[in-house]
Amino acid sequence: MIKELSEEEETFEDEVTDNNGKNEVTDNEVDSFHDIDDKSKKSREKYLVHGISVSIINEDVQYMDADGRLITMSIIDYSRMNLKKVYPMFDEFKKVWIKHKKKNELINELVEDGILIDYIREKVTEDNVDDFDILANLGYDHSLLTRDERIDYVLESGYLSKFNGENLEIVELLLEAYRTKGIDELKKYENIKPSRVYPKEKSY
C-alpha cells in the first residue's frame, strides 16, 4: 500500500471488500459451485490437514475420521466445512482478511486448514473475481462480485469525496490497479506518486 495514505490503508480495503449488503443471494442466482464439468475431472495430489491425510480423487476428497471411518465428500463441501470451522461467521473472516496484509500467506494458511482454494478457483466461471469473494460465496452464501462491480460500489458510495488533490489521484490509481490486476497488485504501489504537481496547502 502507499505511504502517503498510511492512515487510509485499512479503510480503503474495507471499502472495497464491503458492499452494503449487496452480497445477499437472490432467488434467481445460480450457485457457481454446483455446476461441475465432468470433463475437468482428474486425479489430484494428497494433502495433510491437521495430521490427517486427505486424498483427492476426481471431484471428491477421502479421509479417515477419528473413528476410523472412510469419509468421502466433494471438494467443495469439504472446503466449505473447513472454512466454517475456522471462521464460523462472515464478519470474522472479513476482519481477518482485511487486516492480513500478505494475502498469499493467508491463502496458504487456509489451504493448510483444508480449504482447497486452487481447486475452487477452477470452478468459478465469472472473470475478475478475487479470492475474497470466492471464499465469501463458498462459506457464507454471498454472491460473487467482480472487481468492476466492487469499484462501481465504491464510486457510487461517495467514498472518493473524502480525498482531494494528490490523494484523490492516488486512490484513483489504486482502484484502476485493483480493477485490472486484483488486490495483490496494490503492494507494488508503495512509493506511488501523483503524475501532477499540487500546490502545498497554507498553514496558519
Return d(Cα 114, Cα 42) in angstroms, integer. 19
pLDDT tops 50 at residue 149: yes
Return d(Cα 102, Cα 160) in angstroms, integer. 25
Question: Any bridge partners for residue 71, and if so which?
Answer: 63
Do 160 and 171 meet the contact criterion of CB atoms below 8 Å apart?
A: yes
Mean residue pLDDT of the chain comes to 78
Question: Any bridge partners for residue 54, and if so which?
Answer: 47
Cell of 29: 442466482
Nearest to 43 by CA among 135, 119, 123, 124: 119
- Rg of the Cα trace of the chain? 20
Confidence band, pLDDT 50/70/90 cuts, at residue 193: low
pLDDT tops 80 at residue 60: yes
Label residue 130 exposed, middle or buried (CB < 10 Å: 0-12, 13-18, 19+).
buried
Q: Is 20 left (phi over 0), alpha (psi -120 to 50) or beta?
A: left
Return d(Cα 180, Cα 183) in angstroms, integer. 9
Beta strands (DSSP E) in the chain are 46-49, 52-57, 60-64, 70-74
pLDDT tops 80 at residue 57: yes
Instruction: For 95-112, write each residue's pLDDT tens digit.
Output: 999 999 888 899 999 999
Nearest to 131 by CA among 81, 169, 79: 79
Q: What is the DSSP letter of 161?
A: G
DSSP strand pairing (52-57 vs 70-74): unpaired
Cell of 92: 470474522
DSSP-derived 3-state class of residue 53 = strand
Q: What is the mean pLDDT of residues 71-99?
A: 96
Its pTM stands at: 0.69
Instruction: For 150-177, write each residue's pLDDT tens digit.
Output: 999 999 999 999 898 888 988 888 898 8
Q: What is the mean pLDDT of residues 111-138?
A: 92
DSSP strand pairing (60-64 vs 70-74): antiparallel
